[in-house]
Amino acid sequence: MISTELLITLTNDLAKAMTLEEVALVTVGALGRALDARSVGLWQRRDEHAHLVEAYNYTPELRQKLERVPLDAEMPMTEMLRTGEACFYDTRAEYAERYPASERTTRVSARSEALAFACLPLVVHDRTIGALVVAFFEAARFGNEERGLLRIVAGHAAHALERVRLFAAERRARDHTTRLQQLSSALAAMVSSTDVARTVVEEAMTTLNASVGALYAQVSDEAMLDCLSAKDSPFALRYPRLALTERFPAVEVARTGVPRYIESLEDLEREYPELAAGLRAVGEETYSIAVVPVGFVGRPAFLALSFRDGRPLAADERPLLEAIARHASMALQRASLFDNEARSNERNALLAEASATLASTLDYDTTLRNVVRLVVPRLADFAFFDVRDGEAVVRTPLARDPGKQVILDASRWVRSAREDVNLCALSSGAPALHPRIDEAFLADMASSPEHLAVLRRLELCAMITVPLHSRGQLIAALTLCMGESGRGYSRVDLETAQDVATRAAMALENATLFRELQRAVRVRDEFLSVASHELNTPLAALSLSVQRAKRELASPALDRAMRQVGRLARLVEQLLDVSRLQSGRLVLEPVETDLIEIVRECVARLEEQRAETGSTIVVEAPESLVGSWDPLRLEQVVTNLVSNALKYGAGSAVTVAVTEDGERVVLVVRDRGIGIAPLDIERIFGRFERAVSIKQYGGFGLGLWITREIVEASGGRISVESAPGDTRFTVSIPRRTEASRSDNR
Amino acid sequence: MTHVLIIEDDPDVRESVAEVLGEAGMAVDAAPNGRVGLDMLRAGLRPEVIVLDLMMPVMDGREFREHQLADAKLKSIPVVVVTADGRPPAFDVPVAAVIKKPFIVERLIGAIERARQASSE
């Protein structure tokens, strides 16, 4: 029956078989043909069942009946699988006697009934891994030789099956390794948590044949797990956030770091009825679940896979899933670090910009606008900057969305009626963080239905408010809000807001002081204008009247009156000048001016004073000397110096000498009078450079102080040399004066 | 004979100036503020020089000057500004002269004459 030829052919063919199915096909085919058997069947033992892998000459009905037989069935094959002992039935009658039920089932037709059976176990390493059943047309007597040869065939088949199993396992293992390496490479390039999550979910589902996958992680400050990626999961769609306190197996895995494998729907129903119900409610079918932790220190996370085909994860696939989980964990950690660093850099950049922008201006209104511009849109979708201004509060709002800007422009700051909820730091004086605002909170916040409607239109979903303090006073509040973008706020955002607020407080303080200064200067200038007018008008009338009277009547009294009017007029001018000069730099308006013409005019104007003193004035100067100077101020200087020279000159000759010295011009006024004491010179011209106060000029009147201020503001220097009988004031100024602006503008 | 219009709100100053200029041989008309001065000009008065104070009620010197420059018939009349304000800010369209109060009469007369001569050239 069985020849060595058969054995050789079978051996060769088996060696070429690469899969379970090929092995089975070769075996049953070879045996069937060579032995002229009625039928041959090969079963694999798996999960408490015998699965028919391949058959020779089975009818479709028979195939179906014997497809999947439980191991505890009453039939020769299953008994053999249980005991590991081959069995031989020479006649059908023998078989029927032993297994009446089975015999009846497998009896196909009365006609071609097999008459003899051989049941052989397929054994590898003392384990029965399958069964081979050969049926013969004729009643046979299985002698020892026949039994031995059949056993050899079974042995070959068993080893071939084992070989292909090992081969398949090895290929799977290599496959897994390759896929893990590819996953690792792919993840290495990713810096975003969502990218990592998506890749991991896809990879895990593909490799392990899952029907549903989801990855959740804690990404905010709240005790919540957010879904970073999910595939084909209605549950994840419905519940994108899970509380860390939830009684779900996945959440527990995230918390404890221990994987969980739930192998059947019954187990799920029994242990986690709420989850089972939840899954049913969203229409997600589940039969088994595998969940592994993918979090890292302080950041719980899980990867959950669900298998719909009723096959739970095989034992050798668990290590693979856990390896994927480890890769995922490292990648998420890397993404988190990268993210932190990016956000930290962003924050520093924002604060640096805040410092620069806020320091760039002293203008009050611009400062208010700059503050809100710094935070929208980078830190908020819209924001308010509420500043105390006396009793009132000035609100500066800014929104990313122009539609919302319109709403905000119409709003005003109102003291919150709610004591228990900190909505604005200007009411409470304290910072507050509302990381996520829901409908219930909005309803709570609103002070009226209209207010609630506005809050809804703004789509307010998160809020931060921080106070600004200056010199111990609460001066303002900055409130940041998230709306249409749906973003939330974290503790780090609150700190950033506080840092911005600190800088804003300084800038606001400076701007406020500056504004007060500007107001004070405006008031002062207005006063000076009015004072000037009020003093000069009667002086003008007086002056004209005296001039008129002098024409009608020559009288020394009138001459004196005229002189005093002149003096009064100069005094008023000096007083007003000093008033201006004391609080700011001198304002010069240079134009093309001929210095010599000015000198001549001044000398002409001082004619009366000269005549009285009996002095003479000599001018030593070129025909003209044009430069860029403020003529009125230059006039003051020349007049003052010459007038002093006449006053203290004791009737001597006064010389006014003007010379050029490169880009500078030198004016020397000289008299031969009583001189100035050295102590006085030192006092006013000595070591004290710029900061000489008027008090130091006591005795010299205001004129010399004003003269010095004008000369120095023009970029020049004034000095004096004096001895009794010879006094020289020397003024050296550049030919071109820069137009100067008072720092009060 | 130089014809001058003085626009000055203070009555004492106005009278004194009018008197002094009159004695210097000029024909003088006077108005107490810019509004009245403008009315007089629009009614047909054509002085050769206007002596203009700046700080006045009803209509001050600057506003008067704006109206004067806007009127084609009036804009060419030269203006000598006489003001108590020590540092008046500059004029967009320059005036013939700026004289500070109080002043020596000759200064004003000189400025008026120069202005008249310059405009007749």
Q: Which pLDDT tens digit goes with each residue over B10-69?
A: 888 999 899 889 989 999 999 999 999 999 999 999 999 999 999 888 898 999 999 999
Residue A537 to residue B10, Cβ atoms within 8 A:
yes
The angle that helices A701-713 and A556-583 make with each other, rounded to 10 degrees, is: 40
| Beta-bridge partners for A227 | A216
pLDDT of residue B22: 92
Q: How far is A534 from chain B (nearest CA, A)?
A: 8
Distance from CA of A531 to the nearest CA of B (A): 9
Q: Which chain B residue has its CA at the smallest distance from A587's CA? A: B87
Enter the ipTM. 0.81
Phi, psi of A395 (to 5 degrees): -110, 130
Choose, out of B87, B103, B105, the residue to mutate when testing the contact with A (most A CBs < 10 Å).
Answer: B87
- The beta-carbon neighbor of B102 closest among A529, A543, A632 is A543
Counting one residue from A and one from B, how many pairs have CB atoms under 8 Å apart? 65
Confirm if A108 and A49 have CB atoms less than 8 A apart: no
Burial of A368 (0-12, 13-18, 19+ CB in 10 A): buried
A536 in B contact zone (CB under 8 Å): yes
Task: For residue B73, give how far its alpha carbon lies from the nearest alpha carbon of chain A (Å).
Answer: 31
pLDDT attached to residue A279: 84
Ranges of residues in chain A whose predicted pLDDT is under 70? 1-2, 103-114, 141, 310, 417, 580-586, 683-701, 739-745
pLDDT at A648: 81
Residues of A in contact with B90 (CB under 8 A): 589
Give yes or no for A533 touching B (CB within 8 A).
Answer: yes
Which of A533, A551, A569 is the closest to B85 by Cβ? A533
DSSP state of A658: E
- Is B102 within 8 Å of A587 when comparing Cβ atoms? no
How many residues does this entry show for chain A? 745
User: Residue B4: its pLDDT value, please?
Assistant: 96
Query: Are residues A543 and B103, on separate chains, in Cβ contact within 8 Å?
Result: yes
Nearest residue to A214 via CA among A229, A203, A202, A195:
A229
Contacts of B10 in chain A (CB under 8 A): 537, 540-541
* Interchain pair A532, B20: CB under 8 A: no
At residue A689, the pLDDT reads 46
Over residues B92-101, the pLDDT tens digits come to 888 888 888 8
How distant is the Cα of A702 from the closest Cα of chain B, in angstroms?
17
Q: Which residue has the higher pLDDT, A309 or B110?
A: B110
Take residue A574 and report the two structure tokens written for it: 């000096």
What's the first-to-final CA gap in chain B, in angstroms?
Answer: 17
Order across the sheet with A260-262: list the strands.
A241-243, A224-231, A212-217, A301-307, A288-293, A260-262
pLDDT for A345 = 92
Q: How confident is the model at residue B113 (pLDDT cuts 50, 70, 90)?
A: very high
Which among A544, A559, A575, A605 is the top mutation candidate for probing chain B, defined by the most B β-carbons within 10 Å of its own β-carbon? A544
Question: Are B20 and A547 an interchain contact pair (Cβ–Cβ within 8 Å)?
Answer: yes
Q: A72-108: buried (b, 16+ CB within 10 Å) or exposed (e) per residue?
A: ebebbbbbbbeeeebbbbbbbebbeeebeebbeebee
Smallest CA–CA distance from A529 into chain B, residue: B85
Query: Does A569 contact chain B (CB < 8 Å)?
Result: yes
pLDDT attached to residue A679: 76
Q: pTM surpassing 0.80?
A: no
Q: Cβ–Cβ of B86/A532 closer than 8 Å?
A: yes
Contact A532 B104 (CB under 8 A): no
User: Hey, are the CB atoms on B86 and A576 less than 8 Å from each other?
Assistant: yes
Nearest 5°: CA angle at A560, between A559 and A566?
90
Q: HSE (CB half, 13 Å, CA atoms) of A652? A: 18
Hey, are the CB atoms on B13 and A547 less than 8 Å from each other?
A: no
Distance CA A78, CA A70 (A): 8
